[in-house]
Amino acid sequence: MIAVFLKDLRLIARDRLALVFALVVPILVITTIAAALYDRDGGPNLEILVVDEDRGPVASAFAKLLGNHAEVRFAERGEAEIAVGVKNQVPAAIVFPEGLSRRYLQGRPSEITLLTDPAQATGINTLKVLLLLMDKDAAALADPLAEEMVSVEEVNLTGNRLAVTPFEQNVPGFSLMFVLLAVVFGTATGLHDERDWGTLPRLLVAPAGFTWMLLGKLGARWLLGVLQMMVLLLWGRAFFGISLGASPTAFLLLCAVVVLCAVATGLVVAAATDGREQAQPLGLVAVIVLSAIGGLWWPQDIVPDWLRQISPIAFTTYAMAGMNDLVLRDRGLGESGFTLGVLALYGLGLTVIGLSLFRARHSAR
Partner 1 sequence: MADAIVTRDLRRNYGDREAVRGVSLGIGEGEIFGLLGPNGAGKTTTLSMVSTRIHPTSGDAWVFGRHTVTEVHAARRLLNVAPQEESLYPTLTARENLTFFARLYGVPRAQRVKQVQRALDAVELAGRADDRVATFSGGMRRRLNLGCALVSNPRVVLLDEPTVGVDPQSRAHVFDAVRGLRSEGITILYTTHYLAEAEELCDRIAIMDEGRIIALGTLAELLRGSSAEEMIELRLGSEARPSCDLAALPGVARCEINGHMVRVFARHAEPVLARLMQSCALGADIVQLRVTPVSLETIFIELTGKELRD
Which one-letter amino acid corresponds to residue 81? Answer: E
Q: How far is the CB of 215 from partner 1 (least distance, A)?
A: 13
Element (H, E) at 112: strand 110-116
Say which DSSP state 68 is in: T
* 1 lies in the site for partner 1, by CB under 8 A: no
Residue from 41, 87, 147, 197 binding partner 1 (CB under 8 A): 197
Applying CB under 8 A, among 10, 40, 87, 365 the residue interacting with partner 1 is 365
Q: Is 50 helix (H, G, I), strand (E, B) or coil?
A: strand
Taking the complex as a whole, the smallest distance from the CB of residue 201 to partner 1 amounts, in Å, to: 4
CB of 202 to partner 1, least distance (A): 5
Per CB under 8 A, the list member of 1, 2, 145, 205 interacting with partner 1 is 205
Half-sphere exposure of 210 (CA within 13 A, CB side): 20
Check residue 202 for interaction with partner 1 (CB under 8 A).
yes
Cβ contact 172:242 at 8 Å:
yes
The reply on whether position 4 binds partner 1 by CB under 8 A is no
Q: Give bridge partners of residue 93 from the DSSP assignment.
A: 49, 115
Taking the complex as a whole, the smallest distance from the CB of residue 195 to partner 1 amounts, in Å, to 10
The answer to the question of residue 5 lying near partner 1 (CB under 8 A) is no
Q: Are 246 and 332 in contact (CB under 8 A)?
A: yes
114: three-class secondary structure by DSSP: strand
Query: How far apart, in whole angstroms, are the C-alpha atoms of residue 287 and residue 74?
Result: 39
Minimum CB distance to partner 1 smaller for 87 or for 365: 365
Residue 49 DSSP symbol: E
Query: How far is 288 from 169, CA to CA, in rounded Å?
Result: 19
Q: How far is the CB of 186 from partner 1 (least distance, A)?
A: 15
Q: Give yes or no for residue 334 binding partner 1 (CB under 8 A).
A: no
The only residue of 204, 272, 302, 357 in contact with partner 1, by rule CB under 8 A: 204
CB 316, min distance to partner 1, A: 32
Nearer CB in complex with partner 1: 4/364:
364
Q: According to CB under 8 A, which one of 23, 105, 206, 220 is a site residue for partner 1? A: 206
Among 57, 67, 109, 209, binds partner 1 (CB under 8 A): 209
**Is 305 in a helix, a strand, or coil?**
helix
Q: CA-to-CA distance for 336 and 331, rounded, in angstroms?
A: 7
**CA gap 101, 320 in Å, rounded:** 41
* Identity of the residue, 129 or 220, whose beta carbon is nearer to partner 1 in the bound complex: 220
* Contacts of partner 1 in 211-230 (CB under 8 A): 213
Helix (H) or strand (E) holding 251, with range, is helix 248-272
Q: State in angstroms the smallest separation of the CB of 16 from partner 1.
A: 19
Q: How far apart are CA 123 and CA 102, in angstroms?
A: 30
- Footprint of partner 1 (CB under 8 A): 197-199, 201-209, 213, 364-365
